[in-house]
């Protein structure tokens, strides 16, 4: 059993693993579980944080100053054990500092802090990345929570009864993966106004990637029942993903994305990454409200 931190309030209960700073459980009274609980046959995780890359890198790694650094899918954070910085009433902060292991796969000295806080019916998650080194660095960061689909508030519903309701109308096309990397072709987004009617068939070509979403929040669930609201005020990209045959939907706000097909430049030139000067930081936020009513 990996060590976990549990936070509880009158409205929410969460469990957070030190391994990957991963949210493992998100419950509302009476002990209603909203988070996917994992299945080795489809996807064993619940909500990893993606850092310092999102998705796959061209050739399985990045290049910097003539050296190649092999880095796994979604970076090293999902497979790293974080240190506890602070645990308070309804809140905690975890930290991952550079180490010999990270230096083998990434050329920069980066600190990642992930904070969780219960705020009434909402779980707020904050990720901060700091360049501890003496040269310009690059990093991406992504949230990756997976929710039970159908939601626990509609246990008898079919998956095709569920929707994702966007904050605003979404007219821009989406992108898809090709040969494991981000393809250049645009695809229709299949959203009707603000409503994406869900079905597993949407994901037979892997994730749906919104590189220009107009919205900064979405609601997921079955109309007529409470659902999950996910807010991402400062994440410029959004991914939706599931594996057909499984019963989860990942709603993934990102800063960054997979390498584009054909990219072979220095990591500092990677599209979507944030460049940090020595001592500089960037922060991204996520808010999850389980049991939220469907917006008008």
pTM score over 0.85:
yes
Cα(169)–Cα(171) distance, rounded to whole angstroms?
6
Q: What is the pLDDT of residue 3?
A: 87
Domain boundaries, position 277: 4-292
Count how many residues are written for the chain: 296
Cα(83)–Cα(209) distance, rounded to whole angstroms?
32
Residue 57's contacts (CB-CB under 8 Å, 6 or more residues apart) are 71, 258, 259
Cα(222)–Cα(198) distance, rounded to whole angstroms?
10
Q: Token pair for residue 248?
A: 């989860």
Which of 74, 95, 120 minimizes the C-alpha distance to 288?
A: 120
Q: pLDDT digit string (tens) for 253-263? A: 999 999 999 99
Query: At 45, which CATH number?
Result: 2.70.98.10
Q: What is the pLDDT of residue 172?
A: 95
Q: What is the pLDDT of residue 263?
A: 94
Cα(259)–Cα(15) distance, rounded to whole angstroms?
32
The strand pairing partners of 175, in sequence order, are: 209
Q: What angle do CA 36, 41, 44 make, to 5 degrees?
A: 40
The strand pairing partners of 238, in sequence order, are: 210, 253
Cα(148)–Cα(125) distance, rounded to whole angstroms?
19
Q: What is the pLDDT of residue 1?
A: 60
Whether the CB-CB separation of 58 and 259 falls below 8 Å is answered with yes
Q: Token pair for residue 47?
A: 């909500």
- 82 DSSP assignment: P
Residue 248, CA distances (Å) to 22, 34, 98, 220 in order: 16, 10, 33, 11
Residue 291 — φ and ψ, nearest 5°? 85, 15
Number of independent structural domains in the chain: 1
- Work out the burial of residue 137: count CB atoms within 10 Å of its CB; fewer than 13 is exposed, 13-18 middle, 19 or more buried: buried
Which residue's structure tokens are 């689909």? 149
Low pLDDT (below 70) residues in the chain = 1
């Amino acid at each position: 059993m990996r060590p976990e931190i549990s936070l509880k309030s009158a409205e929410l209960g969460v469990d957070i693993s030190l391994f990957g700073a991963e949210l493992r459980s998100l419950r509302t009274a009476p002990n209603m579980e909203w988070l996917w609980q994992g299945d080795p046959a489809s996807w064993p995780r619940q909500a990893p944080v993606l850092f310092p890359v999102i998705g796959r890198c061209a050739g399985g790694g990045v290049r910097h100053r003539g050296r190649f650094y092999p880095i796994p899918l979604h970076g090293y954070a999902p497979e790293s054990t974080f240190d506890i910085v602070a645990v308070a009433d309804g809140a905690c902060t975890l930290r991952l500092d550079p180490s010999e292991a990270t230096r083998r796969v990434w050329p920069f000295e980066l600190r990642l802090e992930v904070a969780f806080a219960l705020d009434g019916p909402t779980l707020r998650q904050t990720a901060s990345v700091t360049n501890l080194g003496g040269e310009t660095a690059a990093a991406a960061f992504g949230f990756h929570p997976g929710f039970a689909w159908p939601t626990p508030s509609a246990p008898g519903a079919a998956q095709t009864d569920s929707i994702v309701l966007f904050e605003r109308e979404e007219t821009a096309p989406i992108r898809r993966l090709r040969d494991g990397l981000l393809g250049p072709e645009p695809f229709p987004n299949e959203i009707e106004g603000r409503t994406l009617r869900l079905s597993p068939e949407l994901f037979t070509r892997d994730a749906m990637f919104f590189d220009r979403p107009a919205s900064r929040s979405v609601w997921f669930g079955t109309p007529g029942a409470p659902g999950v609201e996910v807010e991402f005020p400062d994440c410029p990209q959004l991914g939706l993903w599931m594996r057909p045959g499984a019963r989860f939907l990942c709603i993934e706000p990102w800063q960054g994305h997979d390498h584009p097909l054909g990219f072979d430049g220095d990591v500092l030139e990677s599209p979507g990454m944030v460049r940090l000067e020595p001592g500089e930081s960037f922060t991204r936020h996520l808010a999850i409200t389980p049991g939220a009513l469907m917006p008008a």
